[in-house]
Amino acid sequence: SSELTQDPAVSVALGQTVRITCQGDSLRRYYASWYQQKPGQAPVLVIFGKNNRPSGVPDRFSGSSSGDTTSLTITGAQAEDEADYYCNSRDNRGNHPFGGGTKLTVL
């Protein structure tokens, strides 16, 4: 299956820790990547591979995976982290579907 499933919305209190999850069969074979998208902007890569952050992404962002589930964790969420987050992974057909996205609200 090439489908990736995410919770539509998650909220977190300012400064607290939040985990955003993504589930799919392809994650048993391929690591996911995570993208942050703010309104009116292009997506930005925040996590790739086992737990790699591109230059410029704060170290409060981290990734983990187990079985068919991958997670993006924000430790000490900031107001500027409020955004939509998408997971993405290759599937067995060579396609790269996205999850449906999770809207993160920082309270």
Partner 1 sequence: QVQLVESGGGVVQPGRSLRLSCEASGFTLGSYGLHWVRQAPGKGLEWVAVIWYVGSNTYYADSVKGRFSISRDNSKNTAYLQMNSLRAEDTAIYHCARGQSNYQSGDYYYFMDVWGKGTAVTVSS
Binding stretches for partner 1 (CB under 8 A):
29-33, 35, 37, 42-45, 48-50, 54, 84, 86, 88-90, 93-101
Closer residue to partner 1 (CB): 61 or 86? 86
Closer residue to partner 1 (CB): 44 or 76? 44
Q: How far is the CB of 61 from partner 1 (least distance, A)?
A: 14
Closer residue to partner 1 (CB): 59 or 94? 94
Strand partners, 36: 44, 85
Q: How far is the CB of 11 from partner 1 (least distance, A)?
A: 18
> DSSP state, 51?
T
* 55-80 burial: b if 16+ Cβ within 10 Å, else e: eebeeebbbebeebebbbbbeebeee
d(CA 57, CA 104): 17
